[in-house]
Amino acid sequence: MKKFWLLCLVVFFLSGCTSMELLMDKLPFINSTDYTGEGSSSKSTQEGSAFKELNSTSEQASEDEGMLLEGVIFNEIQTVNGEEVIQNASNLFALVNKNFGLPAEYFPDDLVRPNVSFSFGNEDVEKSKLRKEAAKALERMFADAEQSGVMLYAVSGYRSYDRQETLFTAEVQNIGGKMAVEAVATPGNSEHQTGLAMDISSRSVGLSLTEQFGVTPEGKWLEKNAHRFGFILRYPKGKEHLTGYMYEPWHYRYVGHEVAKEIYRNDWTLEEYFEKAKKMKDSV
């Protein structure tokens, strides 16, 4: 009987692969994994793997898009005296730049002094404060840096509208209005007023705020690791046309872990992040 089936097998094989596949379903003593012609289980496995890989990539892309949009709160803008003023100023993700400013009266109600080393010592002044969530993250970042042999110093955090006005006026008197707007934010358009930004330096540059900080071990450590604690390098080199400000390797802005991770991974500015997020939101 077995010889009969083997003879049938030869006949079916000569008649084509489709017949062979049908025969294999009827012959329990033939191991289907031994058959490797066209349409074989080997090819099916490869196609299945490719499909799984494609599906996995699609799922990852969807997750990335979800992460990009998750928790994003866009600026609520109202035009006041020709200026675009942010109404939801306490928004953790507030996009503050030359186009969007904060109300003159905005004052974060959760400012605290982080337990870190300051360039000016233990003096309890306005610039030593950050919003509570950002302050705690700064403490973790400074502690982690120190464990890595990197000593950081906080220089300037929260800055009121009035204080920014004083600084900007002084800069205009020193270098002129045109250059001043590239170096110092106008009152209301400074991230420091959010209570989410901190200028950071090191003893290797005399605790000053200078571009040289970017090439120091401390500056390099910050640029590589700040996102792990929810901070981003706000004004990176080569992105001046997007941020509107000169390269500032000392200026770090807290935006939370997920957003910071996305910005770092994609080498974006905060402006680019919101542009991408808005496009995705509009396409949904």
**CA–CA distance, 193 with 89 (Å, rounded to integer):** 10
The answer to whether the beta carbons of residues 109 and 130 sit under 8 Å apart is: no
Give the three-state DSSP class for 246. coil
Backbone angles phi, psi at 260, to 5 degrees: -60, -40
Q: Which residues form the catalytic set?
A: 248
**CA–CA distance, 191 with 138 (Å, rounded to integer):** 16
Residue 96's nearest CA partner among 192, 227, 161 is 192
Give the three-state DSSP class for 86. strand
Q: Is 124 exposed, middle or buried (0-12, 13-18, 19+ CB in 10 A)?
A: exposed
**CA–CA distance, 194 with 158 (Å, rounded to integer):** 7
**CA–CA distance, 246 with 209 (Å, rounded to integer):** 13
Residue 269's nearest CA partner among 284, 282, 251, 280 is 251
**CA–CA distance, 197 with 72 (Å, rounded to integer):** 18
Q: Which residues pair with 90 in a beta bridge?
A: none
Backbone angles phi, psi at 120, to 5 degrees: -105, 15
**CA–CA distance, 209 with 101 (Å, rounded to integer):** 24
